[in-house]
């Protein structure tokens, strides 16, 4: 037998399969982490933009010296309405406000609704502005925003939430977010 001294060049099939399986495991972990980061980023962005929209409506109410009602008119959209004051005095019922003034929409799958367990940290604030409407009343030198209330949003059916909160003790809208059930607390943005 003649041994030509040939050297083995290349990789064996087993070595290639091991490397491919390790890469597959690492990439699947990365994709899952990336998905969670995208969800968190989108809900934070929605909360910040909703807070900015509500602050803008408070400023517009003072600027034009008219009452503005903001309420949800679609799962993914809130709309600001002006009262038709030609028919009489300014109403305190948001259902009387018909003239569309401005709208704000969030991207799908975010919706302006939350499961009941999401708000256990703020059970004392009962006024949900998306369902009851938020009435912005012009005031000289003060914010036109109501004394308290909130707008809550949820990312699809996940347990990732955004919140814009207005408390009696604070004169500004506070955007917040959280992920998880009722056990985890809200994080300010």
The pLDDT of residue 184: 64
Residue closest to 72 by CA, chosen among 148, 125, 149: 149
Domain-wise residue ranges, the chain: 36-67+106-188
What are the φ and ψ backbone dihedral angles of 141, each rounded to 5 degrees? 80, 0
Residue 31 CB burial class (10 angstroms; 0-12, 13-18, ≥19): exposed
Task: Say which residue the tokens 């809208």 belong to.
Answer: 173
Name the nearest CA neighbour of 154 among 116, 120, 100.
116
Q: DSSP label at 7?
A: P
Look up the pTM and report it.
Answer: 0.80
The per-residue pLDDT for range 24-58, each reduced to its tens digit, is 888 887 777 788 888 999 999 999 999 999 999 99
Residue position matching structure tokens 């929605």:
46
For residue 188, list its beta bridge partners.
Answer: 176
Q: Count Cβ atoms below 10 Å from residue 169 Cβ, excluding itself.
A: 6
Q: pLDDT-based confidence at 117, cuts 50/70/90?
A: low
Q: Above 70 in pLDDT, residue 106?
A: yes
């Amino acid at each position: 037998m003649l041994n030509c001294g040939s050297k083995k060049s290349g990789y064996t099939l087993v070595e290639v399969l091991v490397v491919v399986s390790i890469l597959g495991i690492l990439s699947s972990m990365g994709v899952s982490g990336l998905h969670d980061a995208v969800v968190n980023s989108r809900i934070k962005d929605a909360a910040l933009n909703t807070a900015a929209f509500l602050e803008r409506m408070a400023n517009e109410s003072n600027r034009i010296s008219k009452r503005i009602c903001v309420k949800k008119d679609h799962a993914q959209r809130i709309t600001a309405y002006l009262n038709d004051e030609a028919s009489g005095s300014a109403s305190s019922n948001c259902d009387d406000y018909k003239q569309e003034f401005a709208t704000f929409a969030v991207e799908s799958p975010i919706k302006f609704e939350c499961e009941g367990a999401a708000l256990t940290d703020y059970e004392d604030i009962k006024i949900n502005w998306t369902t009851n409407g938020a009435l912005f009343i012009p005031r000289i030198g003060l914010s036109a925003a109501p004394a308290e209330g909130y707008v809550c949003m949820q990312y699809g059916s996940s347990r990732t939430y955004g919140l814009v909160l207005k408390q009696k003790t604070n004169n500004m809208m506070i955007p917040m977010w959280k992920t998880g059930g009722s056990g985890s607390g809200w994080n300010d943005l």
